[in-house]
Chain A
Amino acid sequence: AQKITQTQPGMFVQEKEAVTLDCTYDTSDPSYGLFWYKQPSSGEMIFLIYQGSYDQQNATEGRYSLNFQKARKSANLVISASQLGDSAMYFCAMRDQYNQGGKLIFGQGTELSVKP
């Protein structure tokens, strides 16, 4: 069965510093997609970044990058130059590319707090 694990319930980072949010996954499927979403206190889920299992390079989107280590089954999110507005819950998610209707399986989430 597919599983996503985020082992950091909460993280603190100083403004302007970089922070890494951990995510490990487990799947027997050769093709899958990995996602990171941000959920501020308002509740909306904001898509940040996507990594396909066959992508050769790590995904990047502005200040967000995904450190994809396939052999270790990890997909850590790196946020560079943290801003106060980055304070939120962050969820890692995985999708089986071809089965299960494309549904996502979410990790437990990490609450990030950015200190001024």
Chain B
Amino acid sequence: GAVVSQHPSWVICKSGTSVKIECRSLDFQATTMFWYRQFPKQSLMLMATSNEGSKATYEQGVEKDKFLINHASLTLSTLTVTSAHPEDSSFYICSATKVRETQYFGPGTRLLVL
């Protein structure tokens, strides 16, 4: 299978600061990357779909100005949580895929906002 990395794996930050999470497809070029959020004991909730070179498509209820997504290349997408607050603490996980193929997931990033 394809390999997707995420960095950092853990991040603790103070309320009001911004946090950037990187998602990279290591051995393939991803036409599309997805960003999910997962609370403990719950399923994955899709936040946005990101295509290289175009604006991300956000799911209903996800604040675009708070969760900034940039897909600069076919191997890199970033999620920036701006002005993070404790309620943003969660597990963020990305996936990458080629057109209509299997989504491969990164290992996830645990964010704790104090």
Contacts and interface: CB of A to CB of B under 8 A. Distances in A.
Contacts of A103: 34, 46, 49
B93 A45 contact: yes
A44 B46 contact: no
Given A102-B99, A104-B103, A43 B46 contact: no
B8 interface: no
A73 to B, nearest CB: 19
A28 B1 CA distance: 30
Contact of A44 (B42, B49, B107): B107
B75 interface: no
A98 B100 CA distance: 7
B110 interface: yes
A91 B100 CA distance: 19
B41 to A, nearest CB: 8
Interface stretch (A12-20, A79-87, A106-114): A106-114
Given A47-B1, A101-B49, 8 more contacts: A35-B102, A43-B38, A43-B91, A44-B107, A45-B95, A45-B105, A91-B43, A104-B46
Interface of B: 1, 32, 34, 38, 42-44, 46, 49, 51, 57, 91, 93, 95, 97, 99-100, 102-108, 110
